[in-house]
Structure 1
């Protein structure tokens, strides 16, 4: 079997990539790399994926990027790919973030909401994938789902919804 195609990163649209880069740096503690400032920002979480024993693997974490909606690059035309607006209401891609053992979903949700995000849901357990999840919509309409590993024999609080 040939080597599979590899996901390298995902771009989120925003009318203001500079503000979006700052938002994600402050909410998640990621490095915000303007490339160039205001047009495209690469967000670098740093660190490496971890082995089950908690030690770092040799695989670096994936990156997330923010691109300016009115001039999505790269594109052969100097004015970028149309349409030049963010997607309207309705379903679109979601970005899943694994919450570090050094952080909490409550802190992330509070930081996001303070900076203009809308909380979509809290306190849900997904048995199929053994994880607790929470979600918010950033100020640019992108849906972010937080994931916390359930671990062995997870205790699900009574107030949580589950499936």
Structure 2
């Protein structure tokens, strides 16, 4: 089984330091929807794992989050692909949960529910916490420069032990070539 785990904000859709709080604010990064469709067409199971502390902060509710995810599903479906499931952490940074990245709970939940080991599974993110969660479960951490990715690289002086790509579309093209 081929599996890939994607962060949402900054990987699939544009990110904001003020949070993505509405369906109108949820705008795909150019090429990301098509990249997900390519993955689907190449027999990948695509899952999303995303921190959504805006819920805990009272910036939006679960219904609004569901509407954002419906929009994502519809766009990906129209492009010929699918997102199998979206896992999210609704907690704030001080809530002490195990599902908020960089803790590995959300990714472990994905592995448990699918009954698969995540060793070597690509986990694409734009922040250090995404990479740390991937490493904690033995997944393949991949950083994209979109969203907060370039900021993450700059903050760490470019010293990361992971692959770095311009965006999701570029990584997917490389990943699919690796398979051939």
Bigger proportion of residues as strand? 1
TM-score when normalising by structure 2: 0.29
Bigger proportion of residues as helix? 2
TM-score when normalising by structure 1: 0.31
